[in-house]
Structure 1
Amino acid sequence: MKAARILTAAAALMVGLIGAEAQAEQYRLGLITPPPHQWSKSAVTVADRIKEATNGRVEILVFPSGQLGNEAQMLQQLQTGALDFAFLTLGEFANRDADYGVFLAPYIVKDAAGARQILKGGVAQKLLGGVSKFALKGFGWGMAGMRQIVMRGPVASVADLSGKKVRTVPFAQELDFWTRLGAAPTPMPLPALYDAFANGQVDGMQIDFEGTWNSKYYEHAGAVLASNHMMFPMIAVGSGRKWQTVPKEDQAVIEKIMAEELDGIVGAYAEIDATYLDKLKTTSVPVVNADRAFFGGAVDLWYQSWREKTPLLKELEKEAAGL
Structure 2
Amino acid sequence: MKHLTSTALAVVAAVGSATVGLAGGAQAQDAREFRIGMITPPAHVWNQEAAAMSETLSELSDGRFSVVVFPSGQLGNESTMLQQLQTGALDMAFLTTAEVTTRVPDIAALHAPFLVDDIADAAAILRSEPAKEMLEKLPAATGTVGPCFAMTGMRQLMTREPIESVGDLSGKRFRITPAPAIRTFFEMLGAAPAPMPLTQVYDALANGQIDAIDMDFESIINFRYYEHAPTMMVTNHHMFGMVALVSGRVWAGLPAEDQAIVREAVQTHCDAIIDRFVAEEAGKLERLKAVDGLTVVEDVGPEFFGDVVARWDTMWAEQTPYVATLRELAAGL
1:272 CA displacement: 2.3
Query: What percent of counterpart residues are identical?
Result: 44
39-48 or 245-254, larger mean C-alpha shift = 245-254
**Aligned residues of 1:148 and 1:224 also touching (Cα < 8 A):** yes
Answering whether residue 113 of structure 2 is matched by residue 106 of structure 1, we say: yes
Does the residue aligned with 2:268 lie in a helix, a strand or coil? helix
Does the residue aligned with 1:156 lie in a helix, a strand or coil? coil
Does the residue aligned with 1:146 lie in a helix, a strand or coil? strand
Answering whether residue 317 of structure 2 is matched by residue 310 of structure 1, we say: no
Q: Which runs of 4+ in 1 moved over 6 A?
A: none
CA distance in structure 1 between the partners assigned to 2:127 and 2:192 by the alignment? 33
Amino acid of the structure 1 residue aligned with 2:183: L
93-102 or 60-69, larger mean C-alpha shift = 93-102
CA distance in structure 2 between the partners assigned to 1:303 and 1:95 by the alignment? 17
1:264 CA displacement: 1.5
Answering whether residue 40 of structure 2 is matched by residue 29 of structure 1, we say: no
Following superposition of structure 1 onto structure 2, how do residues 93-172 of structure 1 map, counting pairs within 5 Å?
Answer: 93-133=100-140, 134-172=142-180
Identify the residue that residue 294 of structure 2 maps to in structure 1.
Answer: 285
1:263 CA displacement: 1.1
Amino acid of the structure 2 residue aligned with 1:160: D
Identify the residue that residue 82 of structure 2 maps to in structure 1.
Answer: 75
1:91 CA displacement: 2.5
Identify the residue that residue 295 of structure 1 maps to in structure 2.
Answer: 305
Radius of gyration: which is bigger? 1
CA distance in structure 2 between the partners assigned to 1:300 and 1:93 by the alignment? 24
1:160 CA displacement: 1.7
**Aligned residues of 1:136 and 1:240 also touching (Cα < 8 A):** yes
Does the residue aligned with 1:35 lie in a helix, a strand or coil? coil
Answering whether residue 198 of structure 2 is matched by residue 187 of structure 1, we say: no
**Aligned residues of 1:179 and 1:185 also touching (Cα < 8 A):** yes
Q: How many residues align?
A: 301
Q: Give CA deviations for 1:127-146 in whole Å, capped at 9, x if unaligned.
A: 11111112111110100110
Taking structure 1 as the reference length, the TM-score comes to 0.90
Identify the residue that residue 266 of structure 1 maps to in structure 2.
Answer: 274
Identify the residue that residue 59 of structure 1 maps to in structure 2.
Answer: 66
Q: Tell me how large the CA RMSD over aligned residues is.
A: 1.3
Structure 1 residue aligned with 2:98, among 83, 91, 94? 91
Answering whether residue 48 of structure 2 is matched by residue 41 of structure 1, we say: yes
1:258 CA displacement: 1.2
CA distance in structure 2 between the partners assigned to 1:131 and 1:255 by the alignment? 15
Gaps of 5+ in 2: 1-29
Gaps of 5+ in 1: 1-22
Answering whether residue 259 of structure 2 is matched by residue 251 of structure 1, we say: yes
Does the residue aligned with 2:34 lie in a helix, a strand or coil? strand
**Aligned residues of 1:47 and 1:62 also touching (Cα < 8 A):** no
CA distance in structure 2 between the partners assigned to 1:135 and 1:304 by the alignment? 30
CA distance in structure 2 between the partners assigned to 1:310 and 1:252 by the alignment? 31
**Aligned residues of 2:104 and 2:137 also touching (Cα < 8 A):** no
Does the residue aligned with 2:317 lie in a helix, a strand or coil? helix
CA distance in structure 2 between the partners assigned to 1:210 and 1:233 by the alignment? 13
Q: Give CA deviations for 1:64-84 in whole Å, capped at 9, x if unaligned.
A: 111111111111111111111
1:269 CA displacement: 1.4
Taking structure 2 as the reference length, the TM-score comes to 0.87
1:51 CA displacement: 2.1
CA distance in structure 1 between the partners assigned to 2:272 and 2:98 by the alignment? 23
**Aligned residues of 1:31 and 1:66 also touching (Cα < 8 A):** yes
Amino acid of the structure 1 residue aligned with 2:304: F
Does the residue aligned with 1:315 lie in a helix, a strand or coil? helix
